[in-house]
Chain A
């Protein structure tokens, strides 16, 4: 199975900050990576697929990059509604696997 490791596991930031979350795969997955946002007590929401492609309706302050084993999710200017937990997910091979999550909290 491909292991997905996210860092940091949590971070504190202020509105307007630029933040970056890292996701590392235990083996190469090309660009077969997605990012999801989950708010407390809510279902996850798809943000990015193919490592860098924004889902329809996702604000342009979100961006994704990377290929192979190392990936990043960047929020260019954090907004109040962005405080949530973020998960990466590989779909290079079964079983599909998720990272452990990164909780973004208000400083």
Chain B
């Protein structure tokens, strides 16, 4: 069974940092692009970033460029999102998903709350 499990969310103060992880199983992780998507409370979906199979290509939404870094460890079947200089507007459930442009499946999400 293909499974994605996010972790690392929590409460952080504005300006702080957090590192999200997504552990994959049930498929050959190194064959797939991986993506992070977020959803603010009560709002719609926003694509955040994605990363190529070998990590050589990464793309970000403008609002997180320079603050967030996506990375992966194919030996550990994991993708990460390092989030620095966090702002209140980064508060959201963060999902990882398999794929570059069509996303399937998705993990259950991890909640990040940025508040003082």
Contact = CB atoms under 8 A, between A and B. Distances in A.
Given A87-B44, A98-B46, A101-B44, A55 B104 contact: yes
10 contacts: A36-B45, A43-B107, A43-B109, A49-B102, A50-B102, A91-B100, A95-B47, A95-B60, A95-B61, A95-B62
Contacts of A95: 47, 59-62
Interface in B82-116: 95, 100-109
Contacts of B100: 91
A100 interface: yes
Secondary structure at the A interface, as helix, strand, loop or mixed, is loop
Interface residues of B, number: 21
Interface in A1-60: 32, 34, 36, 38, 42-46, 49-50, 55
Contact of A43 (B47, B60, B102, B106): B106
Nearest to B106: A43
Nearest to A46: B104
A43 B95 contact: yes
Contact of B106 (A45, A50, A89): A45
Nearest to B108: A43
A99 interface: yes
